[in-house]
Structure 1
Amino acid sequence: MGDAFKCTLCDELSKTPKQSLEHYRRVHLKLLKFKCTHCAKSFETLTQLKVHKLEEHNIDERFKCNACDRTFFIKGLLKLHMDAYHMMGERVKCSLCDYETYSKMKLHTHEVKHKTSKDFHCTYCKKSFLRNNTLRLHERIHTGDKRKVCAECGQAFVQKASLNYHMAKYHPSVNF
């Protein structure tokens, strides 16, 4: 295995530093904090435990969106989904046309489409942006410049929103 990461406590070889860290935590630190109450198995994440319960014990602990058919293993992800797509309450209206929605995020995305002057152009692809800082953030996708790093597992992200999604999905017990 070329460029392998060797565990300092045993002969385990991993392809990535993240896999090496996961091995260390799972095998040597015994960080399996989510235990199944129906059998002897333990898991590193709540999502892994819930998938196990669904597949092995036919226990469905998913959170269902009342506005559509989507389901989530983590309550926080359902809340993010509800806020983004089904924000119940007062409808918000576009100031430039008749478009209406419950979601402020959807309205913002819609209103950006009205603005035609996208003066900031990506040097790597054909995308254009209204703001220079949005262009710079986008170009990190092409350059691999990932500045947002998960303190739990070391995975890196271009955007803070992606890191927050990762934390909610894979490390739900950690406050961030």
Structure 2
Amino acid sequence: MEFIKEESEDMKIEETFRVKQEDTEKQIKMVFTKEESEETFRVKHEDTEEQTDLMALKEESEELNEMQDKDLCKKYKDSTTGQTSFSCSQTEKSCSSKRAQKTGTRSHFTCQQCGKSFNLQGNLKTHMKIHTGEKPFTCQQCGSSFRQKGNLIRHMRIHTGEKPYTCPQCGRSFPHKHNFNAHMRIHTGEKPFTCQQCGNSFTQKRILKSHMTVHTGEKPFICQQCGKCFPHKGTLKKHMRVHTGEKPYTCCQCGKSFTHRGCINNHMMIHTGEKPFACRQCGKSFNQKGHFKKHTRIHTREKQLNLDLEKINVERASQQNQTLGIT
């Protein structure tokens, strides 16, 4: 008696299906494996003693759950009994199942190199590619390689421009489900990833991981040309443009190019006339933060000058009082 494990990207729900077989002279062991989508099955026949085992092996992609199944073994639900059944087109056998409560995940397969454990052998095989460096799935358009088929499918959306996940509140679309989920937290205000050291919370796990370098002081990304170290891969990538001279951000109105996105955002305010940086002391506005900071120094110098003049006046008054004999 085995179980079929169904997984989705954000939530893992395990369903245990009990199988009842009437003819017990020669039982059939049916192993369902997914080929085209995450639940397309092939059927393997073996003689067993007195059981029929069903095991669904999870393939790599986390998002393929949402594709339409092209199953050899089709799943349907009885509207009267509420039971879920599986009907196999090759063996013409069928079996019914009831959902059982999850009793806990047991790990059976352990990586001999790092000790990490998995409950499915397929997951261990996928994990082993991290150690071997194997990337068997290659993009035919750009040559990028991936360890998992699902990662290649997600990557292909860069070339196709497909964005299947659309925000119902603002209409913005995303190529990947994790991008969509992260975006939705902007609307909900949810920040589920909290720093245990300072209590700051973040919408995405990668942002928390990036934040943690503030506490650890870790700078694992090193420039091979000048030896400068950086806490984040993105920061190193931006720094490399100093050496390469790359300017990937181009103004669509005047054609001027920039090394960083922030620079082109500031530049665009010249065309739009926007001046978001306003001085609180005099009310003057600026389109660039650098110009605003430069301006505030005028008030800082003025303030310091006033303090110096006030100090001089106090000293002069004190000297005059001493001269006149006033205590």
Same fold (TM over 0.5): no
The answer to which structure, 1 or 2, has the higher relative contact order (CA under 8 A, 6+ apart) is: 1
Higher strand proportion: 2
- Report the structure number with the largest CA radius of gyration: 2
Higher helix proportion: 1
TM-score by length of 1: 0.34
